[in-house]
Amino acid sequence: MKKNLLVILGISIPFGILLSVLKNRLNIPEKQFWTYYAIFAVALAIGAYIINFIWQLSFLKKLMKISSLLYNDNNPDGYIEENEKLLKRVKSSYNRGRILMNISVGYCEKQDYRRAKEILLDIPEKHMKGIHKVLYYHNLCYYYFMLNENKQAAAIFSSNYALFQKYENNPSFGGCILVNRIHYHLSNGEIEQAKILLEEAKKKYTDPKYQHDFEALDQKLINHATS
């Protein structure tokens, strides 16, 4: 958006100067001059918005096509590679943040949580808005838990708990948020609460994608019981 405003200013200012010169040379009335200028400015703004909308739509289609490598083909390496290629062609800070989040997820699928965390931490938090903000903090929290950096993970979970709560029943990633919540209770020594939530999670979320996390949480509970 900032880039679009700069483009509009870059075009409208010299055009305004040109109109001003023509106004003086052709004796265009003041009112008529500003009418022409206003029409041009509105047309330019609408044109910039349409171009940006079309480009953004094209960008989203590219992301969806690349995502099939991970979610349909189970190919995290190809997913990372294609996102990195796209990253080289994208200038928008916001869109670059989205691509970096995708690359981070690719490394997560490879269970390279340290690299996944490093990539996320390179993304300016100010670019994370709406659902992407939820995913950003959820993923970062998860990576910290996977690296047994529980203090950092718990701090992120606590400070964003109100945000996470809004999406706990989301059919797409409510289960992932619940996994983090169980890890959080375990890190605080709240074993019984963790057990109850894990059993609820197993009944509620039967998608195979949660199997790895449920098994890891079961193992953590066993370790707590035997320690």
CA 30 – CA 116 distance, rounded (Å): 60
Q: Exposure of 57 by Cβ count < 10 A (0-12 exposed, 13-18 middle, 19+ buried)? A: exposed
Tokens of 56: 């953004």
pTM equals 0.79
Q: Are 156 and 138 in contact (CB under 8 A)?
A: no
Tokens of 19: 């109109």
CA 119 – CA 116 distance, rounded (Å): 5
Task: Give tens-digit pLDDT for 116-149.
Answer: 999 999 998 887 888 899 999 999 999 999 999 9
Task: Give tens-digit pLDDT for 40-64.
Answer: 677 767 777 677 778 788 888 999 9
- Could you give the residue ranges of the DSSP H alpha helices within the chain? 2-26, 30-71, 76-89, 93-109, 113-121, 131-146, 150-159, 161-165, 174-187, 191-204, 211-226
Q: Which of 109, 174, 169 is nearest to 135 (CA)?
A: 174
Q: Which residue has the tokens 């200013």?
A: 9
> 28 falls in which pLDDT band (50, 70, 90)?
low
Q: Which of 201, 197, 223 is nearest to 212 (CA)?
A: 201
Q: Which residue has the tokens 């449920």?
A: 214
The contacts of residue 96 (CB under 8 Å, 6+ apart) are 87, 90
Q: Is the model's pLDDT at 156 over the cut of 50? A: yes
